[in-house]
Chains A and B, each alone.
Chain A
Amino acid sequence: MPRVGLFITCVNDALFPATPKAVVQILERLGYDVDFPAAQTCCGQMHANSGYKKDAATLAGAFEDVFGAYDAIVTPSGSCAAMARDQYPHLIGSDIGDHVYELSEFLIDVAGVEDVGARFPHTVTYHPTCHGTRALGLGDKPLRLLRAVQGIELVDLPAADQCCGFGGTFALKNSEVSSAMLADKCRHAADTGAEYLAAADNSCLTHIGGGIFRAGGPRPIHYAEILASTA
């Protein structure tokens, strides 16, 4: 059994404990021993993508110190996994990113399972987040895991591949353009009539959810929470 380290991400650490809990439950259900190194903080993505290379390198170095000893580092964020894999090599000359797996990569590519024994009798629409889909190349992995969930009814999200407009500090620096993108995403999500909008990144879901709370529409949920559900 590989030694699995859980990287919960700073956003989940601060706001969404249910998601990393779900990851622990799924991995333990599959027989993995999961460790949560308490010294973890942030992968450095916000600093890197906002142009603060040195600060990002400091945080990336700290990440490597905390997770260097694990065979596999699992994280419920396509964006943070992509940060480690794409940016750490030239940021700190580290290939630790090769051992960082977004949850669906770990489940399908390492554990070799699609059906994780979940049950979720609800209608769900899925938004493929940009970094997970494009930078990490997740393809339809999260969706394949969702398709295997008992009782779930998946509804296609129109213009699913369009960015929700989050983009980290983009949402603040270009607030108006970001809001215009968000409005379209929320409208498409509401049009599905689904109960839940699932995605592989809680930062994107904070953004989309923040819009949906006002405009109405499906409830945002990290897909790990669906996979953990046995209701």
Chain B
Amino acid sequence: MSTRIVPAASLIPADAPFPKAAKVALGMPQLRKNLAHATGTIRAKRANVAGELDDWESLRDTASAIKADVQHRLPELAVEFERNATAAGARVHWARDAQEANEIAARIVREAGADEVVKVKSMATQEIELNEHFEAVGLKAFETDLAELIVQLAEDKPSHILVPAIHYNRTEIRDIFDQKMGDAPKGLTDEPAALAEAARQHLRRRFLSAKVAVSGANFAVAETGSLVVVESEGNGRMCLTMPRTLISIVGIEKLLPRFADLEVFMQLLPRSSTGERMNPYTSVWTGAREGDGPEDVHVILLDNGRTGVLADEVGRQALSCIRCSACLNVCPVYERTGGHAYGHVYPGPIGAILAPQLEPGRHDDLPYASSLCGACYEVCPVKINIPEVLVHLRQQGPHQAGERAAMRAAKAVMARPRLWRAALKAARIGSMPWRRKGFLRRLPWPGSKWTVSRDLPVPPKEDFRDWWKERQR
């Protein structure tokens, strides 16, 4: 017996501001259970394997320094990458935005005489909505990462950077396979091994027939022109080696100066993302080689708002992100709302600073989707000071008029000690009727936003200043 599949993302009102979308997500008990379980598990694994390295903090410092260096020399590193990749037989394309990247990719697919591609899990292609573009122009893109496959079959959207189907449990996944995969075995159970085997059989047919693969990259090494994909399942390796044509879409911030820099990031990334000491598959390729893997190798270097982010001295550290998701897994907000509430392909703390910067004027609500608890900064392997950037972005505005007036009034009082003392006294007198009770239980809007779940204490009869004055006598 299986229940009808409803794409989880469709339950969250599209383009709703975060507080509204979050409220809907909070009302889904199964979602919250799935999220709490999954984030809790990865969180513990990460803490464990990060804790066993004595030089973890210096690795973080080094990674942060390398990324800062990349940001300072991005144009020259991009050109160096292009030169070296081209010399090794790759074709390098430059894409200003999503539209250009999608058009270049679609053209290459057609030139290869194909109308479908297999895909390696890639955030860049999610960001530019490559699958949707392909569909619109009559091409098909098949996800081959297990979780991305689940999401694609469910006609849903990813809700996490690393584990995009985190919002589903295995029973729900069984139902998705059963109803949407087409070639799922009869009597499929929700045993993880059975589910993995069903996906494996389904994907194998795709790998063997695909002429073109599309990937992203975790790193692009300028010094050698190499690309690196870090993965767990081996589906990436299949895509990167079997089809004749390979298209890799790579955000320009993924550049690293030297091949040796990988030594640092390959220690940080698996530990921070899946909580493993080492990931099962790391593929590194440099251009094309006859008789060994794809012969027609393309790299699309993608800007799509990144140079704009680079121009902001505080905000640019968001470009250091290596998409490990450690910040999502420790975030108390993400844990309770999941990724769809953020309304962007990059959810969680990193999304809250990346989305509004990549798309200026949109996602203004996301920098407020944080209590500034700092758990994200504490785990970030490249030391992005997420709370600092959140506050920085809040300071860019825009601010709601009523709030602006209230803040200005508060400042006017607080900037004048005499007024401040008068205000405190007024509050003490004004709250006298509630003194005996000691707290307020119900306030009119906007105070109701507080009293919805908490009492508010009232000022006591004697304040500190009276006490201090008394004892000075």
Of the stretches A12-20, A110-118, A191-199, the one at the interface is A12-20
Which of B68-76, B282-290, B462-470 is found at the contact surface with chain A?
B462-470
The answer to whether the Cβ of B249 comes within 8 Å of any Cβ in the partner chain is: no
Query: B452: which A residues are within 8 A, CB to CB?
Result: 175, 179
Contact of B372 among A12, A42, A170, A172 (CB under 8 A): A170
Whether B414 lies near A10 (C-beta < 8 A) is yes
Nearest Cβ in chain B — how far from A201, in angstroms?
A: 12
For the complex, is A217 an interface residue (Cβ under 8 Å from B)? Answer: no
* Residue B369 CB within 8 A of the other chain: yes
A175 with B19: CB separation less than 8 A:
yes
Can you list, as one digit per residue, whether each of B315-334 has a CB less than 8 Å from chain A (1) or not (0)? 00000000000000000110
* Minimum CB distance partner of A129 in chain B: B373
B187 to chain A, nearest CB (A): 39
Q: Is the CB of A173 within 8 A of B371?
A: no
Q: Are B371 and A163 in contact (CB under 8 A)?
A: yes
Interface string of B22-35 (1 = CB under 8 A from A): 11001000000000
Q: Is the CB of A177 within 8 A of B408?
A: no
How close is B178's CB to chain A, nearest CB, in angstroms?
33
Residue B159 at the chain A interface, CB threshold 8 Å? no
Which of A92-100, A141-149, A150-158, A208-216 lies at the binding interface? Answer: A208-216
Contact status B459-A181, CB under 8 Å: no
Known A47-B410, A130-B372, A170-B368; contact A12-B464, beta-carbon cutoff 8 A: yes
Check B332 against A135 for contact (C-beta < 8 Å): no
Q: Is B280 in the interface zone, CB < 8 Å from A?
A: no
A17 in contact with B374 given A10-B414, A52-B399, A175-B452 (CB within 8 Å)? no
B358–chain A nearest beta-carbon distance, Å: 20
Among A32-40, A67-75, A101-109, A222-230, the stretch that binds chain B is: A32-40
CA distance A173 to B468 in the complex (A): 36
Whether, in the assembled complex, A178 has its beta carbon less than 8 Å from a beta carbon of chain B, the answer is yes
Which of A51, A176, A178, A183 lies in contact with B391, CB distance below 8 A?
A51
**Are A177 and B387 closer than 8 Å at their CB atoms?**
no
Closest to A79 in B: B372
> When A and B form their complex, which 10 residue pairs have the shortest distance between CB atoms, in order from nearest?
A167-B371, A210-B454, A51-B394, A163-B373, A134-B374, A179-B453, A17-B464, A130-B373, A55-B411, A39-B417
Q: Which residues of B contact A52 (CB under 8 A)?
A: 395, 399, 404, 407-408, 411
B15 close to A (CB within 8 Å): no
Residues A15 and B457 in contact in the complex (CB < 8 Å), given A53-B395, A170-B368, A176-B23: yes
Residue of A nearest to B36 (CB): A184
A8 x B19 contact (CB < 8 A) = no
Nearest chain-B residue to A49 (Cβ)? Answer: B391
Q: Which chain B residue shows the least CB distance to A164?
A: B371
Residues of B within 8 A of A5 (CB): none
Also in contact, A213 and B391, with CB within 8 A (given A52-B411, A163-B371): no
Distance to closest chain B CB from A45 (angstroms): 10
| Interface pair B332/A41, CB less than 8 Å apart | no
Residues of B within 8 A of A211 (CB): 453-454
- Judging by beta carbons under 8 Å apart, are A17 and B460 in contact? yes
Q: Does B361 contact A (CB under 8 A)?
A: no
Query: Assuming A55-B408, A176-B19, is B417 touching A38 (CB within 8 A)?
Result: yes
Q: How far is the CA of A156 from the CA of B332 in the complex (A)?
A: 20
Sample (15) of A-B pairs whose CB atoms are under 8 Å apart = A10-B414, A38-B468, A41-B415, A42-B414, A49-B394, A50-B403, A51-B367, A51-B394, A55-B411, A130-B372, A170-B371, A170-B372, A180-B26, A206-B457, A213-B455
